[in-house]
Amino acid sequence: MKITFPHLGNLYIAAESLLKGLGHEPVTPPPTSRRTLELGSYHSPDEVCLPFKISLGNMLEGLAQGADGVLMIGGWGPCRLGYYAEIQRLILKAFGKQVEFITLEVPRGRWGEYLGRFRTLTASTDLRTFWQGARLSWVKLKAVEELELHAVSAQPREKNEGTVRPYLRRQLELLRTAQTVDEVQEICDAASRGFRELQAHDAVRPLRLGLVGEIYTVLEPFANLRLEERLGSLGVEVVRTISLVEWVRNHIFKKAVGLYSLAPLRRLAAGYLRGFIGGHGLESVARSVALARQNLDGIVHILPLSCMPEIVARAILPRISEDHGIPVLSLIVDEHTAEAGFQTRLEAFVDLVQRRVERFEGQRQARLSGS
């Protein structure tokens, strides 16, 4: 079966390997673009959040390229994401598309149906190919994240402006075509040297801003208007708190065997939020506290319009900002977010943080020379 799937950052690299291992032909939709969003918005209800519209657009573009199946993740709430797949299936059906819709989620009731879905997914594979595909996919997922992290720290220190991001794109392209685990390892090693060469060694310490928020808008460059890249070119090192590898490890491997615990996050968020509120709400609050304790220069919080868990987090962040003395910028994105306004807000925030850091530095110097 030809299977398409929605984009999430560079997840497609790992997803392709996984689907190949399952004996299917992956149909990766074209990179998310304005057209994807318009296509998705046209078929979505108005009030639904941005990730829904983009992922629906991805599916439609993938189907237009000849896919006859869709792979999507599900869940059991309270975030809307868990119900995306079902609604998207209904929309595609109303639209007259006959597609096999495969939702990956923890089964609940109706075991026969889940078993059927699992069978369609694994129909044309043997255990050996599947294992190789799954292993390659996991290794690639980790490699992609490693490269991205290299880029995030290299970009504010780059020797020649605008060299790191194109280099990252080239390496990701190599990674996509890699066939074996060893090949992936080689690419990673070469890239880590490559990134080092692109950096100036006498660079000043860049500003460090933490990035928290809803996972899709944090990881998908189209949805956040290439936020990391923009911050990088403003000379900021972005400290990520959301990692796809961790997400898969926690929500798929650990949760399946009941080992995932929210206790560390709850401890961090104590006094601000008492527990899980769906989506990444608790994580946004807890990670912000953690970032503040690590003495970062500021926090950028990003969320899609009308994302309920993040709205609650957003109402709480100002108090964390006040208590810990750390500037926080909340950015809401939707399909109408304009680039110019977004860039201006980022620049203004970076300016503010820069001046704060300089002022503190000045005070520290004065104290040192005074005593």
Write out the residues near other proteins by the rule CB under 8 A: 45-49, 74, 76-80, 82-83, 86-87, 89-91, 93-94, 108-109, 113, 272-279, 281, 305-309, 311-316, 318-319, 332
Report the residue number, 110 or 201, with the smaller CB distance to other proteins: 110
Report the residue number, 94 or 263, with the smaller CB distance to other proteins: 94
Backbone phi, then psi, for 152, in 5-degree steps?
-60, -40
At its nearest, how many Å lie between other proteins and the CB of residue 228?
Answer: 24
Beta bridge partners of 208: 237
At its nearest, how many Å lie between other proteins and the CB of residue 198?
Answer: 40
Query: How many CB atoms are located within 10 Å of the residue 229 CB?
Result: 18
Q: CA–CA separation, 288 vs 321, rounded Å? A: 9
At its nearest, how many Å lie between other proteins and the CB of residue 231?
Answer: 23
Report the residue number, 297 or 310, with the smaller CB distance to other proteins: 310
At its nearest, how many Å lie between other proteins and the CB of residue 100?
Answer: 13
Beta bridge partners of 240: 211
Please tell me whether residue 234 adopts helix, strand or coil conformation. coil
Please tell me whether residue 274 adopts helix, strand or coil conformation. coil
Q: CA–CA separation, 101 vs 96, rounded Å? A: 14
> Is the peptide bond prior to 78 cis by the omega test (within 30 degrees of 0)?
yes
Residue with tokens 């900021």, as numbered in its chain: 236
Please tell me whether residue 69 adopts helix, strand or coil conformation. strand
**Please, are residues 140 and 17 in contact by the beta-carbon 8 Å criterion?**
yes
At its nearest, how many Å lie between other proteins and the CB of residue 44?
Answer: 8
Backbone phi, then psi, for 233, in 5-degree steps?
-75, -15
Q: CA–CA separation, 224 vs 227, rounded Å? A: 5
Report the residue number, 231 or 277, with the smaller CB distance to other proteins: 277
Please tell me whether residue 151 adopts helix, strand or coil conformation. helix
At its nearest, how many Å lie between other proteins and the CB of residue 132?
Answer: 32
At its nearest, how many Å lie between other proteins and the CB of residue 81?
Answer: 10
Please tell me whether residue 263 adopts helix, strand or coil conformation. helix
At its nearest, how many Å lie between other proteins and the CB of residue 362?
Answer: 33
Report the residue number, 31 or 107, with the smaller CB distance to other proteins: 107
Q: Put residue 304 in one of left, alpha, beta given phi > 0 → left and psi -120 to 50 → alpha.
A: beta
DSSP H or E stretch at residue 209: strand 207-213
At its nearest, how many Å lie between other proteins and the CB of residue 87?
Answer: 5
DSSP H or E stretch at residue 219: helix 215-219
Report the residue number, 85 or 242, with the smaller CB distance to other proteins: 85
Q: CA–CA separation, 332 vs 317, rounded Å? A: 14
Report the residue number, 1 or 49, with the smaller CB distance to other proteins: 49
Report the residue number, 98 or 160, with the smaller CB distance to other proteins: 98
Report the residue number, 118 or 360, with the smaller CB distance to other proteins: 118
